[in-house]
Structure 1
Amino acid sequence: MVQQKRAAARRRPLSREEALARQERQQRRREKEEESRELAKGPIDLPFFILVLLLTGIGLVMLLSASFPSAYYETDGQNPLYYFTRQGVFAIMGVAAMLFIGKINYQRFRGLAKPLLYLSVILLILVAIPGNPLAITRNNATRWLGIPGTSLQFQPSEIAKLAVIIYFGDSISKKKDRMRTFRYGILPYVIILVVLAGLVGIEPHLSGAILVLGVGAVMMLVGGIHWGWVGGAIAAAGGLLYFVVFVLDYNRSRFEYWLNPWADAQGSGYQLSQSLLTIGSGGLLGVGLGKSRQKFLYLPEEHNDFIFAIVCEELGLIGATVIMLLFAALILRGFWIALHARDRFGSLMVVGVVTLVGLQTFLNIGVVTGLLPTTGISLPFFSYGGTALSIQLAEMGIVLSVSRQMKPTKAG
């Protein structure tokens, strides 16, 4: 009935006033598009760009130091630079993508919102299909897709995070006051998050599901939903986590050995106990760059999820603090760009990207230091993973694209 009325309204000839109003709207839209094209030619935010390059460069140096014992062992001494060279290639590709995306008018990203969301769902379903030859299983988790016979592989959850950022930014920016209603501001986004987080969670990839939910929740909050919904969602998530861990007994041992890794230091608590030994052996100043002892096959995942432990061992408390301050500066600068963005769409996308980096960094360092239960989550710009690094740098390009059109700030 509603569609019939709309169709009839479209067939009805427009009055002179309606035609003039439509022309004015079209003219304003063309003026905004022209203004956006002109503003997109502005300079990128140099402090943010420098911080990204610093973290990427330091991350490559630490990856070289942390990975060469494993690479030497796994290649029978033929290529101790295996992980570093692969990561370096993806870093170059990622920086090129960042610069390219940074030159694009970010309004064009609106057209990617729905296709990217649909693509992420399809890829996550492919991972979940039992016996799929494209799905790759490691450490009892199927999180990757790859081409058989090649080393090319990626995590669809990385695509899902980016899809949430762009789709939520596009959709929320158009709703304004309707974001405070349940029908328009809560329900559609909760459905999307439940579907994506559910598909990621069954891989199983608990930390990935947390990142999807966290980024989506923050963007909804910034978009205008009531704080009460956020509190209710946190309580529901806590109850669900308790049910999954302590009732369904999923990953319960991780919680038990998180509280006391020394109870089984050679078994289930080995990862965390070795991580704590690695961090503690660094002391205040560290043992020196490249001089880690724990990376010689004592600490598992030393070049991946637990690379920050090697950072602490080699650079000490001071070096690790400097790196954490660089991450903090990047996150704060990102939020500053979001505050000065030209419109809600740009602001929301930057908030999503920066929240993703901040939340992932916090979770990784929390896991490595024993603040949080052990789960598989990488450290942005540092952990080994070429496609993940490329996507992270591409996301930084989105922030740079928005920064080109920032509102002018008062000098002094």
Structure 2
Amino acid sequence: MSPRENEKSHRRKKEHYFDYSLLFIIIFLVCFGLVMLYSTSSYNGQVKFGDSTFYLKKQLMATLLGIVAMLIIARIDYHFWERFTLVAFLLAHILSAAVLFVGSDFNGSKRWLKIGPISFQPSEFAKLAVILFLALIISKVSKKIKQFRTMMMVMALCGPIVALVGVNNLSTAIIILGIAVILIFVASPKYMQFIIIGLGGSVFMGIFIYLEKYRAERLKIWLHPENFDKGYQTLQALYAIGSGGILGKGLGESMQKLGFVPEAQNDMIFSIICEELGLFGAVSLILLFILMIWRFMIIANNAPDLYGALIVVGIMGHIAIQVILNIAVVTNSIPNTGITLPFISYGGTSALFLLSEMGLALSVSRQVKLEK
């Protein structure tokens, strides 16, 4: 066989790969989330709006839009987004700054921008913009990222957006910072530098928390929720978890969602899952998230270039951090930070951008070439 024929034969043995396993996990999580959202929010919807499907209908619209976005993005070469990355990153700063001046207040938090009948959280867009921006920057300076100076410069690029988001949304600022650390950690072979950054970050967060009275108060509520009125939600969530037992009370049979856990369809939805589906349902959901993270790792390890790998790692870090923090808050392992559970908690903006991120991960998987 001639060299040219051998090359053609070798080329034919390679085929593009698409991660249908990840797509199946995404669809399952979305469907499960909609079922649990209806179960959790039907009482609140009936009491507040006279419609038990109020939250479900709004979430379903955002989810369908997100699925369309996911499927479109999955078919676009992820390198296409490089040309819009800087614009998206700057837009994230502008929108986050706009929230401080003209943002809408809900439950004491100014996190939304309202344009006509549409309201959205710019912080959700900021997560996606940061992932794309850092993936691009780190891939460009990959040979120098092991240098402490370069590492700190990359971290400094995230400083403004973390500060803008953190003013009204500390939890999302922590997630963005965590995504940045994970991306740099993956790209850099040195570990001692991360210990230094971690110590510095801990000191910064300590100062940041104690600058505002309400943040310091959250630490006290976390330690002794029974002594504070604001600890009521945490205690009721723990009651829900404890009352679920091994197999739970059954889907739709929760008592705590009947006004005892405020806004149960949001941050505390995991507690209702524990009550209705028990320890079995909660562990099954956690295992599903672990399986999703594993699929991200497979795609990242086989990505055709560093840019694609870092995009997937950033998405993986986002999901992992948010799931861990949400469950930790619900179980009172850390202070309450107001973090939603991906694909499960109510939130149209979150659903739209999470599914867009999934489209990016699937787009990278389409470029993976495996030996046949």
Q: Is structure 2 residue 31 aligned with structure 1 residue 57?
A: yes
In the other structure, the counterpart of 2:165 is 200
Equivalent position of 2:194 in the other structure:
230
Residue identity matched to 2:144:
R
Superposition CA RMSD, Å: 1.7
Kept in 2: contact 1:285–1:315 (CA 8 A): yes
**1:159-189 CA distance string (max 9 Å, x none):** 11111110111111122211122443431x2
Equivalent-residue separation in structure 2 for 1:248 and 1:388 (angstroms): 27
Shift of 1:238: 1.2
Give the AA of the match of 1:53.
I
- Aligned pairs for 1:262-411 (under 5 A) are 262-264=226-228, 267-408=229-370
Q: Of residues 79, 82, 95 in structure 2, which corresponds to 1:107?
A: 79
Corresponding residue SS for 2:158: helix
Tell me the residue number matched to 2:4: none
Confirm or deny: 8 A CA contact 2:19 2:365 kept in the other structure. Answer: yes
Q: Does 1:166 align with 2:128?
A: no
Structure 2 residue identity aligned to 1:196:
I
Residue among 225, 228, 243 paired with 1:261: 225
CA contact (8 A) 1:360 1:379 kept: yes
Instruction: Give the 5 Å matches for 1:38-187.
Output: 42-75=16-49, 77=50, 79-129=51-101, 132=102, 135-148=103-116, 150=117, 152-187=118-153
Residue identity opposite 1:146 in structure 2: K
- Indicate if the aligned counterparts of 2:16 and 2:369 stay in contact, CA closer than 8 A: no
Structure 2 letter corresponding to 1:74: K
Q: CA deviation at 1:225?
A: 6.1
TM-score (normalizing by structure 1): 0.84
2:205 is the counterpart of 1:241: yes
Aligned position for 1:20 = none
Listed one character per residue, the Cα deviations across residues 17-62 of structure 1 (whole Å, up to 9, x for unaligned) are: xxxxxxxxxxxxxxxxxx9xxx9x9452011110111111100000
CA drift of 1:321 comes to 0.6
Q: Distance in 2 between matches of 1:308 and 1:323?
A: 10
Structure 1 position 139, deviation (Å): 2.5
Equivalent residues of 1:44, 1:102 under 8 A apart: no
Name the aligned partner's letter for residue 21 of structure 2. Answer: P
1:273 Cα deviation (Å)?
A: 0.5
Structure 2 counterpart of 1:72, one-letter code: Q
Structure 1: 4+ residue segments shifted above 6 A: none
Per mean C-alpha deviation after superposition, the further-off stretch among 251-260 and 119-128 is 251-260
Within 2, Cα distance between the matches of 1:198 and 1:42? 41
Instruction: Flag the structure with larger Rg.
Output: 1
What percent of counterpart residues are identical?
A: 38
- Counterpart code for 2:73: I
Determine if contact 1:177/1:224 at 8 Å carries over to the other structure.
no
**1:211 and 2:183 aligned:** no
- Structure 2: how far apart are the matches of 1:42 and 1:97? 22
Q: Secondary structure of the equivalent of 2:342? A: coil
Kindly provide the amino acid, as one letter, of the partner of residue 202 in structure 1.
V
Give 2:85's aligned amino acid: A
Q: What SS is found at the alignment partner of 1:186? A: helix
Q: Deviations over 1:94-133 (max 9, x none)?
A: 111111100001111111210110100010110122xx2x
**1:193 CA displacement:** 1.5
- Amino acid corresponding to residue 81 of structure 2 in structure 1: F
Instruction: Give the drift of 1:250.
Output: 4.1
**How far is the alpha carbon of 1:375 from its aligned partner?**
1.3
